[in-house]
Amino acid sequence: VGDNGAGKSTLVKCVSGIYTIDAGTVTFDGNQVAVHTPRDAAALGIEVVYQDLALCDNLDIVQNMFLGREKVRGLVLDEPTMEQMAGDTLASLSVRTVKSLRQLVASLSGGQRQTVAIAKAVLWNSRVVILDEPTAALGVAQTAQVLELVRRLADNGLGVVLIS
C-alpha cells in the first residue's frame, strides 16, 4: 500500500524481471536469486497481473491465456488442449461468470477481464501471484468479485501480493 508515485509498480517490475535492480537482492524460497527477465521470474513461479491487464481485446479468452506460451502439436496450435487447460483453470477458481471460453475479451466486463488476467497467471503453476492494483478501475460489485477470487487463490496455497 502506498501513495501514487511511491514505487509500488516499480517494485513489481523489479521482482518480475521487467526492470533490472541496481542495488539489493531478491530472495525466493530462502535463496538469493537473479531475476533478469520475465522468463526468470516465471521459472521461479512468480506471475504478475499488471494494472493494465495486458490482455488483447481482439483475442478470445483461451488465446489470451496462452498468449506467448501457446501449446503446439507438430506445426499447429493444440487448440483442444489449450481450451481444456483454460477451462480447468477457470473452474478451479470457481469462475462462473464467463459464458464461453471463446468469447472475445472485448465483450467482457472489467471484473471478467480481471478474472481472465488472474486465471492466466494461475495457469502456469505459479507459486506467487502479484496483483498490481487489481481493483483500481472496477465498481463495487466487480471489486467484490475480484477480491473473492484473490481469497480463493490464497486458500489454494498460492502466495498473493496485492498492490493497492
Count the alpha carbons within 13 Å of 155 in the hemisphere toward its beta carbon. 9
Q: How crowded is residue 101: how many other Cβ atoms within 10 Å of its Cβ?
A: 17
The Cα 101–Cα 89 span in angstroms is: 11
Residue of 128, 107, 114, 112 lying closest to 57 (CA atoms): 107
* Residue 31, domain member (yes or no): yes
Angle, CA 154 vertex, CA 106 and CA 162 arms, to 5°: 60
Beta-bridge mates of residue 47:
129
The Cα 99–Cα 137 span in angstroms is: 22
The tens-digit pLDDT sequence of the chain (164 residues) is 788 889 888 889 999 999 989 999 999 999 999 999 999 999 999 999 887 778 999 999 999 999 999 999 999 999 999 999 999 999 888 888 888 999 999 999 888 888 899 899 888 878 999 998 888 877 888 788 888 888 888 988 899 998 88
* Residue 3, domain member (yes or no): no
Number of H helices, E strands in the chain: 6, 7
Angle, CA 131 vertex, CA 126 and CA 134 arms, to 5°: 140
pTM of the model: 0.83
- Reduce the DSSP state of residue 162 to 3 states and report it: strand
* Residue 27, domain member (yes or no): yes
* Residue 1, domain member (yes or no): no
Q: How crowded is residue 78: how many other Cβ atoms within 10 Å of its Cβ?
A: 15
For β-strands 76-77 and 72-73, DSSP reports them as antiparallel
* Residue 143, domain member (yes or no): yes
* Residues listed for the chain: 164
Q: The domain containing residue 106 runs over which residues?
A: 8-163
pLDDT attached to residue 53:
76
When divided into structural domains, the chain yields a total of 1
H or E stretch at 11: helix 8-15
* Residue 147, domain member (yes or no): yes
* Residue 118, domain member (yes or no): yes
CATH code, domain carrying 80 = 3.40.50.300
* Residue 134, domain member (yes or no): yes
